[in-house]
Amino acid sequence: MVAVSRSSSVTLRPAGSSNGRRSYNEIGVNHFVKRNVLVVSIVVFVLVLLGIAGWANWQNRKQVAAALLAKQSEAVLVADSGAAGNGGDAGIGHKPAPAFTLTNLKGEKVSLASYRGKAVQINFWATWCAPCKIETPWLIELEKQYQPKGFEILGVSFDDLDKDDPKLLAKDKADIAKSVAQLHIPYPVLLDGDSIAKPYGDGDVYPTSFFVDRSGTIVAATFGLTSKSDLEGNIVKALGEGK
């Protein structure tokens, strides 16, 4: 017998392949990559949105600040026109300061007359007044600096008071007292500034300050937010140390 041998062709497949199908590891890696790309894309998108929102907020704050400064500058310029005192006087500069008696946060009566012989800054302000909060730290420092020479500050609140409702009135006073504590105001804060607005020019710009010398005469006034150096110059004038 003749032995017949059969030859069979064998095709070698690349390692790791199975009939053209991807291995489990390949599928897992691709899925992981796609998921990471998706996560990174989402993070980038969120960061872009935050950047746009931040930029828009910054632009808005710039516009608000510019409008506020323009309004304050306009107020000061109006007050300065025809003014006889430093910073404007609303027509009452170099005249006796209108007398008044108001109640402080403790319920005590405080009169301007009781400060005769001292230089006094009558500071009209309100808890809702943003420029007032900028000015207040300067006032605290200046009073501490010049108090030994006979200088005092009287803060006069122009916050609304609901006088017809005892409960609401108590709340109004508590809100003012809270702001005073938060701002660390050491000088007296008097209530119901509206009641003395008319004799002091009936202005609607805050903060407003009148500087009264030792004899009770208004020697300077400021309307709107001004610089610390301007405030100090008016204090010196009220003390009789300026020119």
In-domain check, residue 191: yes
Long-range residue pairs from 233-238, CB within 8 A, at least 24 positions apart, any chain: 233/86, 234/86, 234/87, 234/121, 234/209, 235/119, 235/121, 235/142, 235/146, 235/151, 235/211, 236/146, 237/86, 237/211, 237/213, 238/119, 238/120, 238/121, 238/151, 238/211, 238/212, 238/213, 238/214
- Whether residue 124 is predicted with pLDDT greater than 60 in this model: the reply is yes
Mean pLDDT of 81-99: 60
Picking from 5-14, 95-104, 106-115, 195-204, which range would have the lowest pLDDT averaged per residue? Answer: 5-14
54 pLDDT band, cuts 50/70/90, is: low
Q: What is the pLDDT of residue 33?
A: 66
Predicted confidence at residue 36, as pLDDT, reads 75
Q: Is residue 80 scored above 50 in pLDDT?
A: no
**Rounded alpha-carbon distances, angstroms, from residue 87 to 5, 84, 157, 203, 233:** 120, 9, 21, 14, 10
pLDDT at 106 over 50: yes
Query: Is 24 a domain residue?
Result: no
How many CB atoms neighbour CB 230 within 10 A? Answer: 17
Q: Is the pLDDT of residue 163 over 80?
A: yes
* Residue 181 or 92, more confident: 181
- Assess if residue 158 is contained within a domain: yes
**Sequence-ordered list of residues with C-beta below 8 angstroms from that of 20, at least 6 positions apart, any chain:** none
Q: What angle do CA 54, 56, 59 make, to 5 degrees?
A: 110
Whether pLDDT at 12 is above 70: no
Q: How many residues does the chain have?
A: 243
Identify the domain containing residue 113 by its residue range.
82-238
Most confident of 10-24, 75-89, 210-224: 210-224
Tokens encoding 108: 């005590």
pLDDT category of residue 56 using cuts at 50, 70 and 90: low
Q: Is the pLDDT of residue 24 over 70?
A: no
Residue 219, phi then psi, degrees to nearest 5: -110, -15
Asked if the model's pLDDT at residue 201 lies above 60, the reply is: yes
The Cβ of residue 77 has, within 10 Å, a number of other Cβ atoms equal to 12
**The predicted structure's pLDDT at residue 21:** 54
pLDDT at 5: 42
Give the pair of three-digit tokens for residue 150.
Answer: 């006979």
pLDDT at 111: 96
The domain total for the chain is: 1
Domain-located, residue 144: yes
Distance CA 48, CA 26 (A): 33
| Whether the predicted model's global pTM rises above the 0.75 cut | no
What is the CATH classification number for the domain harbouring 158? Answer: 3.40.30.10
